[in-house]
Structure 1
Amino acid sequence: MNLFRRDREPSRRPVEDVDLDSLLALVAESLGYSYDFALDGSSVTLSGESDLVVRLTGLRREAGRRAREDWPMLVSEHLAHAVATAGDRLDVCDLEQARPLLRTRVESVDDVPDLTRVVGRHLSADLVELLTVGSRAVRPEEAGCWPVAAVRALDLAVANVRREDRLWVEAIELSGTPVTRLTGMTPSAATHLRWLGDHLRVPSDGVLVVLPDPYTLLVHPVDGIGVVRAIERLRVHAERTDGLSSQVYWWHGGRLTLIKADIVTRRGQTRLVVAPPPEFAKVLARLAV
C-alpha cells in the first residue's frame, strides 16, 4: 500500500514523523502486512489475516529521545511486540486498563540488558526499580502513550504495591546476630522499604538491609556498635545466597546507600574489608563512643 496517498493533502507533519513512518512501512511490509496510517499519525492499522491497530504516540516520543541510528531497532521491536501480543485483552498503552496491574520489580543493574528499553529508577548505584505490568517490564513507548510522566506512573505502581501486596515478618538469627526477615509474594520487597516503619521499629539512624532475592528483605537496626558485627553477618549471608545482590545497604532518610564490603582471602584467612560511605562512617564513629 502506498504510504503517501494522492487523495490526501500534502503532509504538514514534522519531517521526523514522516521518516519514522517510512521505517514503520518497511518493517510492516517485512512482517507481511499492508498498512494505513491515521491522518494525525497517532496509529497505524496493519492489515493481514485480520486488522491490528498499533498506537504510535509513545513510539514517537521515545524516538524523539533517541539517536536516529536507534530508530530501526525501536520500530522493529515495537511492531514485533504489537503483533506478538495482538491476542491480549490488555492494551498497556491504555493507562486506565494498565493502572490496576502496575507494580514494581527490583533488579541488579547488571541483570538488565538495556536500561533504555525499560521504565524505572535507581534505588542505588547497582539496583534499579522497574515498572511492570503483570509479570513483564513496561516498555518506554508504552509508557509514552500515557497522559502522565513515567515518574508518576512509578508512583502509581508503588501505591498499588503498598495497598495490595503484603509482607510476612519474622525474627531470625545469622550466626547469633538477630535480624528481621520480611518476605512477600511478589518481587517488590524492596519497594516496601518506603514504609518499613509499618512493619517494625526503625531507629533514627535507619537500618542495614540485604536483598537476597526480589521477594525478601533482611534488616538489622542501626542502634549500637553491634551494627559492625551485623554488617559482617549480613554480607556473608548475601554472598552465600548468590541472589539479587551480595552487598549490604543502609536505608536512611528514604535512601538506599551501598556499604561496600569486600570479602578478602589472604594466606588462607578470610576477612571482611568495609569501606562505609562518609555519612555512615560518621554514624559508626558516634555509636562507638
Structure 2
Amino acid sequence: MGLFRRKPRRDGRDAPRDPEFAFLSVAEGTRFRGLVRESFAERGLEVSVFADMVTDSDGRQFGLGNLAAVCHNDDRGPRVWPDLVRQHVGMVLRAMDAPSALETLPTEQIRAQLYPRVVGAQGLDTSNFRYARDVGPGLREILALDLPESVMMLTDDALQPLGDLAYLRDQALYNLRGLPVEAHETVQDDEGMRFEVVLGDSFYTASRVLALESVVREVTGEEIPADGALVAMPFRHQLAFHAIRDTGMIAALNGMAAFAATGFEDTPGAISPYVYWWHDGTLTQLSDREEDGEGLRIVIGEEFHALLERLVADEQGRSGEGGA
C-alpha cells in the first residue's frame, strides 16, 4: 500500500461529474451502478439502485460510498471494477446471510477479537452508539468485532450481553497494542520537513492513535517526548505522526496538513482531513478548511502557541550559545 496513489487512465476532470461521487464522471458513475446491479442479480437478488445506496425487497440498504472509493482508487483502472464489485457484493451478502457472530462465537473469543476503532463523528448513528467515546474534535471511538471477511461495528444492544463496557474497552486496547506494524514510510523533503506514516491493510491501522506510545516506540525506538506529537488519521489504513522535539515540527505540521487533506479525499474508510496535537492522550485539532472551503489553515490555541514560542526560544538560546 503506497502513500501516494497513481491515478489510472480515466475520464478527464473536464468530463461531467457524477452528482453523488464527484471523483467519478457521470459515465463512470453510471457504469459503476450498473455493475452493482448486475452483481446483486448474479446472486439472485434484485435491487433498486439509488445515487448512494441500493435497497432490496426486504428493505435492507447497502451503501455504495466505500465501494465507489475502492474502485476509484484502484490503480488498475475501470477494467478491474467488475471483479471488485463482484467480490464486495459477495462478501456483503455472505455477512448478511450468515448467523450473527455474536450468537455463534463464545464470549471469550468475541473479546479476543474486539478492537477499538476511531471513526469520523459525521455519519455515526448516535442513537445506536450512545456509548461512543469522544476522542477529539470530529472523532469518536467505538468497539468493533474483527471477523475473517468483515468488521462488525458493535451497537449498544450488541455490547450489552458481553459485559462491563470499561472491561471490554480495556480488552480491545490490549488487542490493538498487540497488532504488528505492517509497513512504515518516512515522508521528508530537502527543507527539513519530516514525519512518519504507518500503513497497513488492517482496518485498525489509523485507530492505533489510541495506543500511540507503543506505535512510536516500535517505529522509532524512542518514547514520545513530554511535548507530545502531531498526528493525522486521513483514513483507516494510515496513521501519520511527528514526535515534537524542536521547531522542526512547524514544517511537519504544514506537511502533515496537506497530507491528511489529500489522503482523506475519495478514500474508503475516511476518518479526518485534519492534523491533531496528541498530548498526554488528548487530541487537539490544529488544521482546518478555509471558510470558503478552499485551501487549508493552521489554527492553534493558547497552549500550543505557548509550546511553539518555547521551542523557538530554546532554539534561539542554543544558537546564541553556539555563537558565543
| TM-score bucket of the superposed structures, by smaller chain | 0.5 to 0.7
Cα deviation, residue 124, structure 1: 0.6
Cα deviation, residue 253, structure 1: 0.9
Cα deviation, residue 272, structure 1: 5.0
Check whether the contact 1:94–1:146 (CA below 8 A) recurs between aligned residues.
no
Deviation string 1:129-188 (CA, Å, 9 cap, x unpaired) is 22001201112112111232x132112111112124434222222675211111233222
Q: 2: distance between equivalents of 1:99 and 1:169?
A: 28
Check whether the contact 2:234–2:274 (CA below 8 A) recurs between aligned residues.
no
Q: Which structure has more strand as a fraction of its residues?
A: 1
Check whether the contact 1:212–1:246 (CA below 8 A) recurs between aligned residues.
yes
Q: Which residue of 2 aligns with 1:244?
A: 271
Q: Which residue of 2 aligns with 1:173?
A: 188
- In the superposition, relative to structure 1, how do residues 263 and 215 fare at CA in structure 2: closer, same or farther (>3 Å)? same
2:285 is equivalent to residue 258 of structure 1:
yes
Which amino acid in the other structure matches residue 146 of structure 1?
Answer: L
2:303 is equivalent to residue 279 of structure 1:
yes
How many equivalent residue pairs? 201
| Structure 2: runs of 5+ lacking an equivalent | 1-95, 314-324
SS across alignment from 2:260: helix
- In the superposition, relative to structure 1, how do residues 91 and 165 fare at CA in structure 2: closer, same or farther (>3 Å)? farther
Q: 1: distance between equivalents of 2:101 and 2:251?
A: 52
Cα deviation, residue 97, structure 1: 3.7
Cα deviation, residue 95, structure 1: 2.8
| Mapping for residues 1-289 of structure 1, pairs under 5 Å | 87-88=99-100, 90-91=102-103, 95-112=107-124, 114-118=125-129, 119-134=131-146, 135-148=151-164, 150-173=165-188, 176=191, 177-189=193-205, 190-191=207-208, 192-199=211-218, 200=220, 201=222, 202-241=224-263, 242=265, 243-263=270-290, 273-289=297-313
Q: 2: distance between equivalents of 1:224 and 1:92?
A: 52
Check whether the contact 1:174–1:234 (CA below 8 A) recurs between aligned residues.
no
Which amino acid in the other structure matches residue 226 of structure 2?
Answer: S
- In the superposition, relative to structure 1, how do residues 122 and 94 fare at CA in structure 2: closer, same or farther (>3 Å)? farther
Q: 2: distance between equivalents of 1:86 and 1:188?
A: 24
- In the superposition, relative to structure 1, how do residues 89 and 142 fare at CA in structure 2: closer, same or farther (>3 Å)? closer
- In the superposition, relative to structure 1, how do residues 110 and 228 fare at CA in structure 2: closer, same or farther (>3 Å)? same
Which amino acid in the other structure matches residue 116 of structure 1?
Answer: S
SS across alignment from 2:259: helix
Which amino acid in the other structure matches residue 276 of structure 1?
Answer: I
Q: Which residue of 2 aligns with 1:61?
A: none
Q: 1: distance between equivalents of 2:201 and 2:168?
A: 22
SS across alignment from 1:251: strand
Q: 2: distance between equivalents of 1:249 and 1:175?
A: 24
Check whether the contact 2:194–2:251 (CA below 8 A) recurs between aligned residues.
no
Q: 1: distance between equivalents of 2:120 and 2:104?
A: 25
Check whether the contact 2:275–2:287 (CA below 8 A) recurs between aligned residues.
yes
- In the superposition, relative to structure 1, how do residues 127 and 229 fare at CA in structure 2: closer, same or farther (>3 Å)? same
Q: Which residue of 2 aligns with 1:73?
A: none
Larger Rg: 1
- In the superposition, relative to structure 1, how do residues 236 and 95 fare at CA in structure 2: closer, same or farther (>3 Å)? same
Which amino acid in the other structure matches residue 154 of structure 1?
Answer: R
Q: 2: distance between equivalents of 1:88 and 1:239?
A: 37
SS across alignment from 2:273: coil
Cα deviation, residue 263, structure 1: 4.3
- In the superposition, relative to structure 1, how do residues 89 and 120 fare at CA in structure 2: closer, same or farther (>3 Å)? closer
| Structure 1: runs of 5+ lacking an equivalent | 1-83
Which amino acid in the other structure matches residue 140 of structure 2?
Answer: V
Alignment TM-score, normalising by the size of structure 2: 0.55
Q: Which residue of 2 aligns with 1:54?
A: none
